[in-house]
Chains A and B, each alone.
Chain A
Amino acid sequence: MDEPMPAGEEHFVSSCDDLMRVISQYVDGDIEPDLCENFEKYMAGCNPCRLVVDNITRTISLYKGEQVYEMPLDCRKRLHDCLREKWKQMHTGDHSARDV
């Protein structure tokens, strides 16, 4: 977990600009309670900010949840074959190594 923002540095959200500056800390849950309350109060009165926060949260959630890249089967096979071969080379003459 990242360090919360130091008190006094970003301590009050009174504009969309202020909100944008701390939006990452908010969506990460890395925001001090007072600032968080202030953030949410401002957001409740600003529909564009509320939508931007919601969009960002859903963007992150999509990338976390989706396996965007899947390792192809042929690639997996080459990987395991290569590692098996290397293991044999490394353990030639090594009596502690089991058969591969």
Chain B
Amino acid sequence: MDVSEKQVDLQLVKQAQAGDFNAFDALVAKHEQRLYRLAMGIVRQREDAEDVVQNSFLSAMEHLANFRGDAAFLTWMRRIVTNNALNVLRKRRGINITPNNCPDDDEDCLPKPEYIADWRDGVEQTVEKHELRAMLDEALAGLSDPMRVVFVLRDVEGMSTREAAEAMGISEANVKVRLLRSRMKLREILTQKFGDPDSTVDPSTVMQKLKPTG
């Protein structure tokens, strides 16, 4: 998001703070898709994602007077949505994403590539968009919740390691380990789908100490 966009948002916030609903509504319309994507990436269920986005905007509305513009409006909203989405995960399965309870945090055990191949050219152009989205969604579903959340925050949302660590309440080191694992796992799944069989190479040529991905 560039500076001018932030300024546009800030202007809309000021108008909303002055009582203009249309300004607030414009902010919602501008960011709802992106925030829904964030929520879905974490909770993975449409109804839950809808609730998360709705509750987040309601919360933003209630606390709008406190927003001073130190951070961008979108940054503020992403924090609220991430918190609410993580709460849904915690409530749903009693999931614990703290470092001591995640088996994916072992720094000494690196994931090993199992299937290595060059991807076919132009995957984005040759695969139908809806089919590609379904494939990406299915691959994401193959990650555990703690790994998926890190991947969504870092690689889809573009948060820094520090921001993701703060959002999840874990250390930056654990964010890095989980991110590596999630990237390697997704690579594995997608390479099975998009890899050119003629370009397959023997994974045993990659060092022996690594353990299989997943």
Interface of A is mostly: helix
B58 nearest CB neighbor, chain A only: A86
What CA separation (Å) do A87 and B55 show in the bound complex? 13
Contact, CB under 8 Å: B61 / A51? no
Known interface pairs A65-B124, A68-B137, A83-B28. Does A51 touch B117 (Cβ–Cβ under 8 Å)? yes
Contact, CB under 8 Å: A75 / B61? no
What CA separation (Å) do A2 and B164 show in the bound complex? 11
B187 located at the interface, meaning its Cβ lies under 8 Å from any Cβ of chain A in the complex:
yes
Known interface pairs A71-B33, A87-B61. Does A80 touch B25 (Cβ–Cβ under 8 Å)? yes
Question: Residues 30-69 of chain B: 1 if any A CB is under 8 Å from the residue's CB, otherwise 0?
Answer: 0011001100110000100110011001100110000000
Residues 21-64 of A contacting B (Cβ, < 8 Å): 21, 23-24, 27, 46-49, 51-52, 54-56, 58-60, 62-64
Give the distance to chain B from A87, nearest Cβ to Cβ, in Å: 5
Q: How large is the interface on B (under 10, 10 to 19, 20 to 34, 35 or more residues)?
A: 35 or more
CB neighbours of A98 from chain B (8 A): 19-22
CB neighbours of B187 from chain A (8 A): 52, 55-56, 59
Give the distance to chain B from A60, nearest Cβ to Cβ, in Å: 5
Partner among A2, A20, A69, A87 whose Cβ is within 8 Å of the Cβ of B49: A69
Given A54-B118, A55-B190, A90-B61; 9 other pairs, CB 8 A cutoff? A17-B209, A20-B206, A24-B183, A51-B117, A52-B206, A66-B129, A71-B53, A97-B21, A100-B22
Name A residues whose Cβ lies closer than 8 Å to a Cβ of B. 1-2, 15-17, 20-21, 23-24, 27, 46-49, 51-52, 54-56, 58-60, 62-72, 75-76, 78-80, 82-84, 86-87, 90-91, 94, 96-98, 100
